[in-house]
Chains A and B, each alone.
Chain A
Amino acid sequence: MPPIADSILILLLLMNFFILGTANLRAAIRAVALQGLLLSLLPLFVESTLTFRLVALVGATALIKGMVIPALLLKALRDVHIRHEVEPYLGFVPSLFLCGVGTALALLFADSLPLAPAERASLFVPASLATLLAGFLVLTTRRKAISQVTGYLVLENGIYVFGLLLYQAMVVEVGVLLDLLVGIFIMGIVLNHIQREFSSVDTERLSRLRE
């Protein structure tokens, strides 16, 4: 396992912290996009032989995770002209702290799992779990609907990291990406409707249905 992969993964983790730490929504989206691009590069360092499949996968990933989806989000952000503060329920410091705790837990839990000799040293499993948790943190502590979508993307990225461990089996990875794309697309549409109906994407407004 080349060290580059691990360094990329470390970058990925730092991105999590940045996303949780930044107060600016646009910056957060950009960070997610960057995560996507980094992920798209990963396969190149996992696989030695350069096949068409590899290229296709890298391309598709870069395209969807790195460009299309962020673009969609940024567009949505522009459409729903709102202040770009994140306005979290949970302050930045506590969320960063929790993210750290989550990363630590991820490392511990990953050690408890048996790994193939190749990956025993690598950061794939912990990184994926940590990113997953970071995504959850964004999802559960952020107020704006858009920032929740970003959280969802972070979560997806985490899963994608793990997916790379099974590169051989990832024939359907493209299908997965497609689903993701459609999902975000629909979320975008709904976001628009929300904007039109409530003239805000603050989820506070979206808590009418309750007991």
Chain B
Amino acid sequence: MMAVYLIVIPLLGALAAFLVPADRVRPWIVAAAAAMHTALTLVIVRMRGKDVYDSSWLRLDSLGRLVLLVISILFLICAAYCVGYLHVRANRPNRIFCTALLGFLGMTTLVTLAQHLTILWVAMEATTLATAVLLYFNQNRRSLEATWKYLMIGSVGIALALLGTLFLAYGALLGLGEPTLLFPDLVRRATRLPVPWVRTAFVFLLVGYGTKMGLAPMHTWKPDAYGEAPGVVGALLAGGLTTSAFLALLRIYRIVDAAGQGRFARELLLFFGLLSMAVAAALMIGQRDFKRLLAYSSIEHMGILVLGIGIGGAGIFAALLHVINNAFTKGVLFLAAGNIHRAFKSKRLEDVTGALRRVPLSAGLFVAGFFAITGSPPFGPFFSELGVLIAAIGSHRYIVGALYLLLLALVFIGMGATVLAVVLGVPPDDPAGSAFRDSASKTIPILAALGLVLMMGIWIPAPLSALLHAAARFLGGS
């Protein structure tokens, strides 16, 4: 029965946030709900899914547990950050914002639980709408434009995903005689699904959920959305939303693989993985806006995720490991970038230099995050990114491996140039200088996130790695 509370708690929190009149109180409600959510998640994950609420429609399998864990912790960090952040932005009403935040949490949780394709879809759609609201927090022209684009592209994507879902259902109707959409059924009897429908459905679902993930060339909403939303929203999108979309894609992949179309699916994933990395690299080099830069970095890492799956075998484990690393590292980067943005009242290199001088801690964290995300030890992403390479070479895909390394190098150059330009040097002396400086409430959450990233690189807890292995086996990897 407990898993349901995972959904109920945030939704109740959302309700409370909506009803409470005081702007000052709401952030605390968000934080409280997040804390309860995380606590419960930890309990349930420790129970390894035993005697949790278990219906044919909602169940917490190993894959779901993994993603739930990541999203819940990331959300807790972001919620903690929000307390300080919304205090700074006291001039803005935050009722809708807080409500949407918790709604987002509830719906992503539902994504991790859903065992039914349509539930999954409904939940994804709901997250789309919730995020649309979050993006519009700043309420200026730029954020409006970003929101509009996100809404249009996201809705179209999700619509395609729906059609894909229906195709799969129809395939089931033809193959199994009943239009079941339950993952276990579909996987168990996948061999009887008619191949053309499976392939077509996968194409639609890939494009649909790929749009949500932000795989090139469906990535176009990302730079605008991440660029204009508050850093904390960026963190939630890059670490949470994309991850849940990836989860959806994984569930589909599992069916397609079981249906004997795994090779077809992996080919497409390989292609999109490399393409996303390439597009991201091309647009990162010479990037003058450090928040858009992070958006492209997110695109790149989505590419790495699907690349890992596309390689298969050991690549699946690497990809799942990278889910964790990417989420928390993105948290560090976006939150730190948010602080720098506040401290300079700009996110373009023309105005932002020498952040180390103005906000030493945030800038330091930004650099650390940069080294982490580009795969420098001792941070976690090093192992997942190396893992993808190991898988590629291990499966004799030397070309893929070479391209992967080449693109990593390009990305490093593009990202490094901008990040260092932001952090090093001497800050411009602007008379109207922002009053924003490092403060505990706005840096401790980031430190926590970085701590997790570091932990993933130095000491992966045994239960976690067990969970990872279970999830990898669940997906037919090693």
> Which residues of A are in contact with B by a Cβ distance under 8 Å?
112-116, 128, 132, 136, 139, 145, 148, 152, 155-156, 158-159, 162-163, 165-166, 168-169, 172, 175-176, 179, 182-183, 186-187, 190, 193-194, 197-198, 206-209, 211
Contact = CB atoms under 8 A, between A and B. Distances in A.
A144 to B, nearest CB: 12
B162 A190 contact: no
A114 B172 CA distance: 12
B22 to A, nearest CB: 24
Given A148-B152, A176-B122, A197-B141, A113 B196 contact: yes
B147 A114 contact: no
Contacts of A152: 152, 155-156, 159
Interface residues of B, number: 47
Contact of B179 (A159, A168, A198): A168
Contact of A206 (B148, B178, B196): B148
Contacts of B125: 179, 183
Nearest to B154: A183
A142 B264 CA distance: 35
Given A162-B166, A209-B223, A209-B227, A190 B141 contact: no
A113 B197 contact: yes
A209 B196 contact: no
Interface string B125-152: 1101100110010011110111111011
Most buried by A among B136, B169, B178, B224: B169
Contacts of A197: 140-141, 144
The secondary-structure label for the interface of chain B is helix
B181 interface: yes
Contact of A175 (B122, B136, B163): B122
9 contacts: A152-B159, A166-B166, A179-B125, A190-B144, A208-B141, A208-B145, A209-B145, A209-B146, A209-B223
Nearest to B128: A183
A155 B156 contact: yes
B8 to A, nearest CB: 18
A84 B203 CA distance: 37
A136 B160 CA distance: 11
B470 interface: no
Interface string B295-318: 000000000000000000000000
A75 to B, nearest CB: 18
B144 A193 contact: yes
A179 B170 contact: no
Contacts of B200: 113
Interface string B172-210: 011000111100000000000010110010000000000
Given A139-B156, A155-B159, A187-B151, A166 B283 contact: no
